[in-house]
Chains A and B, each alone.
Chain A
């Protein structure tokens, strides 16, 4: 099977780090700024950055509607930090008119841990498929980060803060083909999140190919 083509939304933010992390997972990684570039990819990363800036640029350049359609159509997507905010169905502490791409049945609180002086790095507790063994942890960096205030029933929790004032807060989730983290694995050497996402994209490609071979392309239930 050829390498999956994974895009990184490149309107603003730490795009280069995500491209490098995806390439380490054997994916072909390309920046995405235009609808035609989005249409070509098998999966999409929404990077860290400023969510208000990204959403305004997406709207202005005709990318918001195609993004929503792609995510609702099952395109695998992973958002880190600002990307988590963009994928959330509901956001708190945002400007009143801030839109999102949506798709993830979660409520996300922006800048939940505080201002930059409160930004921190710490071990978090992994759960679900991110953890190969019980009690496994991951060194995570949180920068003016959001957290998941509230997750819907179909959302699997993959990671929580351990200790401190935000003890137990949800900071990594998966719902079907959508993954989101409050922290930035693209800035640390730990590639477990990117590896998991690349696997999701590969499975999705294999499923689509299988459906196509059966003469039933796009006929998802």
Chain B
């Protein structure tokens, strides 16, 4: 049949369905931090569903200090050219111009990230206005819902990036899950109070109570360093995993990356996790989060 030519080019881009639907395609997968095109290739070969392009992995940001910003556009271009899987990149919290630049570069997802130095101490980016979708970090349900109300199309736990210590990601995943479960037990009157306590829009609170889950995909991030870490997060309700410093700060990045991908898919099968955990070499050196001074905790950034 002869199709009619009656619509404008690329009508229907950047809709909520298109943005949230993109995250649905990443489920069950691992998104890996990379700082060079070579690392991006290693990640793609290992089976990553996407890469996160950034200038320094969180462990190096911690070690070197200073202000952490959006990456050099040349570096992001290089990574986009190197791989066929989606490329994400980080913008500072509240830095809507960095986000505009990343959108113009053609990145597939923007992470408005606490790992970079915040650019605004009160406001996050108004994300609904963009064509490109955003993922944001959260430590509990209220924070997740505030980000969704601003237009985030995907949520991840914050964890404590660059520590190789999964304890904060565990806390955040459990907090988000507990918050969702609690909403399911409340009646309409109580949901009004819950919305006030969560500092989140009432309609979103009702939607979560009805669905029994967030209305967007929930990943985990922050401190995942081993296949078993990734599998535990999946069992705690994560729909996929971000691995930052854990891969390229380890002894054998290619093998560890593949092992974490496999453990994420077979997260409920201890035999597979045991098999892929053998002979991985050195994991990244970890940091005890309890000894981190408050000023060096990234999870407290964002409001």
Residues of A within 8 A of B (CB): 10-17, 33, 48-50, 52-53, 56-57, 60-61, 81-82, 93-95, 110-111, 115-123, 125, 127, 134, 141, 143-144, 160-165, 167-168, 184, 187-188
In angstroms, Cα B77 to Cα A199, docked, is 46
Residue of B nearest to A135 (CB): B1
Is A164 touching B22 in the complex (CB atoms < 8 A)?
Answer: no
Is A165 touching B15 in the complex (CB atoms < 8 A)?
Answer: no
User: Is B21 interfacial (CB 8 A cutoff)?
Assistant: yes
Residues of B within 8 A of A (CB): 1, 3-15, 17-18, 21-22, 24-29, 44-50, 84-86, 103, 106-109, 131-133, 258, 261-262, 265-266
* Set of chain A residues within 8 Å of B7, measured between Cβ atoms: 122-123, 162-164
Nearest first, the 5 A-B pairs at minimum CB distance are A163-B7, A116-B108, A12-B28, A120-B12, A50-B49
* Set of chain B residues within 8 Å of A60, measured between Cβ atoms: 258, 262
Is B84 touching A143 in the complex (CB atoms < 8 A)?
Answer: no
Is A48 touching B24 in the complex (CB atoms < 8 A)?
Answer: yes
Is B262 touching A117 in the complex (CB atoms < 8 A)?
Answer: no
Is B84 touching A12 in the complex (CB atoms < 8 A)?
Answer: no
Residue in A10, A117, A164 whose CB lies within 8 Å of B9: A164
Most B CB atoms within 10 A — which of A12, A93, A134? Answer: A12
In angstroms, Cα B15 to Cα A141, docked, is 10
Residue in A12, A52, A121, A161 whose CB lies within 8 Å of B27: A12
Query: What's the minimum C-beta distance from B137 to chain A, rounded to whole angstroms?
Result: 20
* Set of chain A residues within 8 Å of B44, measured between Cβ atoms: 52, 95
Can you add 14 more A-B contacts, CB < 8 Å, to A50-B26, A57-B262?
A10-B28, A12-B29, A53-B29, A56-B45, A117-B132, A119-B22, A121-B17, A121-B18, A144-B86, A162-B5, A163-B7, A163-B8, A164-B11, A187-B21
Is B13 touching A118 in the complex (CB atoms < 8 A)?
Answer: yes
In angstroms, Cα B17 to Cα A122, docked, is 11
Residue of A nearest to B46 (CB): A56
Task: Provide a sorted-by-A list of 27 A–B residue pairs whose CB atoms are within 8 angstroms.
Answer: A12-B27, A12-B28, A12-B49, A12-B265, A13-B25, A15-B28, A33-B265, A48-B25, A49-B25, A50-B26, A50-B49, A53-B261, A82-B25, A95-B44, A110-B84, A116-B132, A117-B106, A117-B131, A120-B13, A121-B15, A125-B4, A141-B18, A143-B22, A162-B3, A163-B5, A163-B6, A164-B7
Residue in B18, B27, B85, B258 whose CB lies within 8 Å of A119: B18
* Set of chain B residues within 8 Å of A117, measured between Cβ atoms: 13-14, 103, 106, 108, 131-132
Indicate whether A57 sits within 8 Å of B22 (C-beta atoms), given known contacts A116-B109, A118-B13, A162-B6: no
* Set of chain B residues within 8 Å of A16, measured between Cβ atoms: 27
Query: What's the minimum C-beta distance from B238 to chain A, rounded to whole angstroms?
Result: 14
Number of A-B contacts (CB under 8 A): 151
Query: What is the predominant secondary structure among interface residues of chain B facing chain A?
Result: loop
Is B10 touching A164 in the complex (CB atoms < 8 A)?
Answer: yes
Is B47 touching A57 in the complex (CB atoms < 8 A)?
Answer: yes
Is A13 touching B18 in the complex (CB atoms < 8 A)?
Answer: no
Query: What is the predominant secondary structure among interface residues of chain A facing chain B?
Result: loop
Query: What's the minimum C-beta distance from B153 to chain A, rounded to whole angstroms?
Result: 10
* Set of chain A residues within 8 Å of B49, measured between Cβ atoms: 12, 49-50, 53
Is A53 touching B48 in the complex (CB atoms < 8 A)?
Answer: yes
Residue of B nearest to A56 (CB): B47
Query: What's the minimum C-beta distance from A161 to chain B, rounded to whole angstroms?
Result: 7
Residue of B nearest to A119 (CB): B18
Is A81 touching B24 in the complex (CB atoms < 8 A)?
Answer: no
Residue in B6, B9, B14 whose CB lies within 8 Å of A165: B9
Query: What's the minimum C-beta distance from B180 to chain A, rounded to whole angstroms?
Result: 16
Residue in A81, A116, A125, A141 whose CB lies within 8 Å of B86: A116
Is A52 touching B28 in the complex (CB atoms < 8 A)?
Answer: no
Is B21 touching A11 in the complex (CB atoms < 8 A)?
Answer: no
Residue of A nearest to B48 (CB): A53
Residue of A nearest to B15 (CB): A121
Query: What's the minimum C-beta distance from B13 to chain A, rounded to whole angstroms?
Result: 5
Indicate whether A187 sits within 8 Å of B24 (C-beta atoms), given known contacts A50-B49, A118-B13: yes
